[in-house]
Amino acid sequence: MDFKRKLLTAALPLVFCMSTAAMADVKIKFAEVHPAGYPPVVAEQEMGKKLEEQSKGEISFKMFAGGVLGSEKEVVEQVQANAIQMTRVSLGIVGPVVPDVNVFNLPFVFRDHAHMRKVIDGDIGQEILDKITNSEFNLVALAWMDGGTRNLYTKKPVRDIADLKGMKIRVQGNPVFIDTINAMGGNGIAMATGEIFSALQTGVIDGAENNPPTMLEHNHYQNAKFYTLTQHLILPEPVVISKVTWSKLSPEQQALVKKLAKEAQAEERVLWDKKSADSEAKLKAAGVEFITLTPEQKKAFYDSTASVRAKYGAPYADLISRIEAVQ
């Protein structure tokens, strides 16, 4: 064996040892604020696995779960700059960046969870994704994850809207949500997801609002034992990719990413329903009291937020009528 050949043979195993990530043309870092095992995280990892396989290793995918790459707001900024390539965020966080999406962020804009799903699965859902893509904010929106229905959780029970008076309630950093809590009589305070646990613990806030899986998995229930089923927000969560990365993909690769993101949308929904039911059972077992409102009591929450729908919904009156018409 001549020297050159020897060298080549020695190097071969090395080449095969190189990870797909090292060889891929496009490397995707995906940021998630939720922990491993949480429905969207599971569906997104599956999407990543399929992406690596079906792109034949041209695209690599790595999940960074549990908020290790920063808060959702910080992550969105990094995706805009292509320092992170993909993420899933609550639409609440996108609203301040792309105001058009705030239609879905309005209190009680959806009748119920099933209505929200119908809307995001149809033309309107695609239109809102396109609003994100066509905005100047350097993101391409691919699909929707389901984030369930948000309800109030508090240290002292809210059995009626009057009980909320003056309570400091954490919301996502979006003026629509601060105004919503204030309109209900509380005091809306914006902070990042990762700060809620200690804010509840130290009494900086009296409560927050979210779906059962987040209340459970982020341990908020440890310091807020009352869960009032207001159902005031039903926020879908877009999966977005940086436009810089998107433009590096071939049309075939773009189609593949889109297709797999839509598959993840369908897969996550099944996981979500199971996780929600499990979370409710676990929260109850941990001593959380679920407070159901009568239709009149719920109407009081709806009526109190009319000013918010009027203020932020006015430019979108037609769209809101189309949302209401979805059966």
Among 85, 149, 214, 276, binds ligand BDP (CB under 6 A): 214
Among 52, 179, 237, 267, binds ligand BDP (CB under 6 A): 237
Establish how many alpha carbons lie within 13 A of residue 113's alpha carbon, considering only the half-sphere containing its beta carbon.
Answer: 15
Binders of ligand BDP in range 11-50 (CB under 6 A): 33
Q: Closest separation between CB of residue 169 and ligand BDP, Å?
A: 11
Q: Please spell the DSSP secondary structure of 73-108, one letter per residue.
A: HHHHHHHHTTSS-EEE--HHHHTTTSGGGGGGGSTT
Window contacting ligand BDP (CB under 6 A); options: 53-61, 131-139, 209-217, 268-276: 209-217
Nearer to ligand BDP, 84 or 89 (CB): 89
Binders of ligand BDP in range 282-311 (CB under 6 A): none
Is the distance from CB of 113 to CB of 149 less than 8 angstroms?
yes
Among 174, 210, 223, 230, binds ligand BDP (CB under 6 A): 210
| Residue 223 found at the interface with ligand BDP (CB under 6 A) | no
Q: How many helices (H) and strands (E) does the chain have?
A: 15, 11
Alpha carbons 225 and 259: distance in angstroms, whole number: 41
Q: Closest separation between CB of residue 181 and ligand BDP, Å?
A: 13
Number of neighbours of residue 297 by Cβ within 10 angstroms: 17
| Residue 180 found at the interface with ligand BDP (CB under 6 A) | no
| Residue 87 found at the interface with ligand BDP (CB under 6 A) | no
Query: What distances in angstroms separate CA 22 from CA 14, 84, 210, 242, one per listed residue?
Result: 12, 17, 39, 20
Strand order in the sheet with 187-190: 187-190, 168-171, 207-210, 150-154, 226-233, 289-291
Among 72, 179, 267, 268, binds ligand BDP (CB under 6 A): 72
What type of residue is 256?
Answer: L
Nearer to ligand BDP, 59 or 143 (CB): 143
Nearer to ligand BDP, 55 or 172 (CB): 172
| Residue 90 found at the interface with ligand BDP (CB under 6 A) | yes
CA-wise closest residue to 206 among 171, 155, 164? 155
| Residue 59 found at the interface with ligand BDP (CB under 6 A) | no
- Strands 86-88 and 237-242, by their bridges, are antiparallel
Nearer to ligand BDP, 190 or 320 (CB): 190
Among 193, 265, 276, 304, binds ligand BDP (CB under 6 A): 193
What type of residue is 279?
Answer: S
Where on the chain is the footprint of ligand BDP (CB under 6 A)? Answer: 33, 72, 89-90, 147, 172, 193, 210-211, 214, 237
